[in-house]
Structure 1
Amino acid sequence: MGVVEATKSSSGYAKPPWMFTGSALYQLHLVKAETARALIPKEFRLVEAFGYTLGGFFLAHYDDSPAGIFDELVVIAGIVWNPPTSCAWAARVLVNSHEACFHGRKYIGLPSQVAGFSKRTIAISERSRNKENSFLHKIGFGTAFHNPKDRIDVQVAEIKDSSTTTDFCCISLPTAVLNSRSDSTWMGPIVKMSLPSYSGHTEYNPHLLKYSCQIKCRVRAVTPAKVSGPTTTPLDKHGEELLAHQSFYSVGSEFGELTENDARNRSISVLLSKPVLALEFNFLKMQVEPPIVVAHCSKNIVED
């Protein structure tokens, strides 16, 4: 069933909690509720307003972890109700570590996939940078957002087996992100936070799980990264991706009924949705707590 299943142990992870250090970009998007619902178990009530929920992605580079150095892209389909607060739901997790993929699938209940992450630095002219930041200056936030001279293009491609790769997305972001020691400029205040999440309901872990990530890092707002879909994505006359308009997006699809291709394309649609906020996490220290099984899914999850 793919290259990951050949791995029989996750020796580096040992006993929880599991510790990760590195840097990350956490970007929130406005995601259409109809897109998110098909990726979320029907037991949950989606937190939404005016037909949208908050989704997005978490792109991280870990320079130390139980699986060593690796990159991770977590596609967040949306937010589900978890009284008295809420939890995120990961629609897809891409990592360039077989060990991290195996552990995520078996022990955390994540929809993990092995992927390749290729990065290249793109120089941006002074004129282009000023144009990108003009709106922020007009509303008084230009100086608060970090906008370095160069950008990094991160190309992510899923690896199904040793000979088959499929383009997933390309994320263009400031060079400071993914490099926790990139410069000595102001890197924001030290913040401690807890990010609760639900997981499970996969072929590798059928249980419904809940876990949390305890994070300590320096946080600052940055210009949102630009995301593009696979190079094979058809484009309309305005150059916009047509994923959201194709027939595989049937409203009301139930979790578990999506094909692998449907789930993949919906995840891409989440990435291509409108960004609203981007936060750069530097000097990241993340402690992942062991998940607990949510017994029979409490009615409070779906009811007010």
Structure 2
Amino acid sequence: MGESGTISNSSSPSGYALGPPWLFRGRYTLGGLFLAHYDDSPAGEFNELVVIPGIVWNPPTSCAWASRVLVNSHEACRHGRKEIGLPSQVAIFSKRDTAASEQPLYKCRKSSIHSKPKEQSEIQVLEMEDSSQIFICNISLPFAAGDNRMGPQIRISLPSFSGQTIYNPRLLKYSCQIDCRVRAVEAAKISRPRITQLNEFPNATEVKKINFDDRLTTENEERERSIAVLLSKPILALEFSLLKMQVEAPTDVTTQSRSKKNQVVDLRTC
């Protein structure tokens, strides 16, 4: 590739001419989302959707980086912005439960073998911006009726970077200590909402104005990138039940990252 980004006309031999297999070296990162309902917290009961565009390496461990945190609690939003350095936004979570029709697992000539009926929770997420409400996504959480299984008990520590926002310009690092039961589940189905779906949710009457402004502002670009992460192809889905999470006070690593020039913290997704 030339410096301009176009294909170079160099006469140097191509590595592809050596034949297969072709070897590529590089790096990548994994992103994801964290959807939670907290029955109890310092801010009371609330919902949270965290968009994680990537995992960054910070020896001796890796850390998560959240590009957007949506909560339906003004107190939790203020605390996340000021104390933890999170890019928190107030949002509306509208939920409804629907029953999916029972489908045959496979058919025989005289009878059909049916799978267990499935239900799903439909969650519509709208972000608040001034007096406007902006559609973010629809989240469909499928689950089998009567399935009360819980996985093994685990205890994990999740280190994360935060800060460098308009609310908290410092570079921060904090960790979450989590005790829970965990198991693999069917991945959620996430889609961009349609206008006609608005009236299907309980809070539909609360929507006064919908912002469809598609100007390429910094805020809109950041929001669209986060939505792109939500719409990406799922690899693994885990359900955390009986969750108890303790969030440690963040530490300021701005000075530390500047002094150690040989240990650059790369906050970009790979």
In the superposition, the TM-score normalised over structure 2's length comes to 0.72
Q: Does 1:117 align with 2:93?
A: yes
What per-residue deviation string (whole Å, max 9, x for no partner) do you get for residues 267-302 of structure 1?
Answer: 000101111000000000000000000033244244
Q: Out of 147, 165, 168, which is 2:136 matched to?
A: 168
Report what 1:267 is aligned to.
Answer: 226
Counterparts of 1:228 and 1:284, CA distance in 2: 27
1:116·1:157 contact (CA, 8 Å) conserved in 2? yes
Greater relative contact order (Cα < 8 A, sep 6+): 1
- Residue 86 of structure 1: aligned partner: 62
1:57 aligns with 2:16: no
**1:186 paired residue number:** 149
- 1:68 is paired with a residue of what secondary structure? coil
CA RMSD, 1 decimal: 2.6
1:272-283 to structure 2, matched below 5 A, reads: 272-283=231-242
Distance 2:139 2:168 in 1: 29
Specify the code of the residue in structure 1 equivalent to 2:168: N
Please give the alpha-carbon distance, in whole angstroms, between the structure 2 residues aligned to 1:267 and 1:111: 11
Separation in 2, partners of 1:294, 1:231: 42
Question: Are the aligned partners of 2:187 and 2:237 in contact in 1 as well (CA < 8 Å)?
Answer: yes
**1:50-94 C-alpha deviation (Å, 9 max, x unpaired):** 674200100000000000000000000101111122101000000
Post-superposition shift, 1:265? 0.2
Distance 1:301 1:190, change over 3 A: farther
Q: What is aligned with 1:13?
A: none
Compute the displacement of 1:231 (Å). Answer: 2.9
After superposition, the Cα gap between the structure-2 partners of 1:278 and 1:97, relative to the gap in structure 1 and judged at 3 Å, is same
Q: Per-residue CA shift, 1:128-184, capped at 9, x if unaligned?
A: 8x59xxxxxxxxxxxxxxx872000110000113x31110011101358xxxxx967
Say which one has the larger Rg: 2
Partner SS for 2:66: strand
Q: Is the 8 A contact 1:121 1:175 kept in 2?
A: no
Q: Does 1:159 align with 2:106?
A: no
Task: Give the AA of the match of 1:156.
Answer: V
Alignment partner of 1:290 out of 233, 236, 249: 249
- Is 2:153 aligned against 1:197? no
Q: Distance in 2 between matches of 1:291 and 1:301?
A: 19
Percent identical among aligned pairs is 64
- Residue 276 of structure 1 aligns to a residue whose secondary structure is coil
TM normalised by structure 1 equals: 0.64
CA separation in 2, counterparts of 1:95 and 1:279? 20
**Contact 1:223-1:278 within 8 A present in 2 as well:** yes
> For structure 1, which runs of at least 5 residues remain unmatched after alignment?
1-48, 132-146, 177-181, 233-245, 249-257
> 1:150 aligns to what?
119
The number of residue pairs the alignment matches comes to 212
Gaps of 5+ in 2: 1-24, 107-115, 196-213
> Compared with structure 1, are the counterparts of its residues 122 and 211 closer, same or farther at alpha carbon in structure 2 (3 Å cutoff)?
same
Q: Which amino acid aligns with 1:169?
A: C
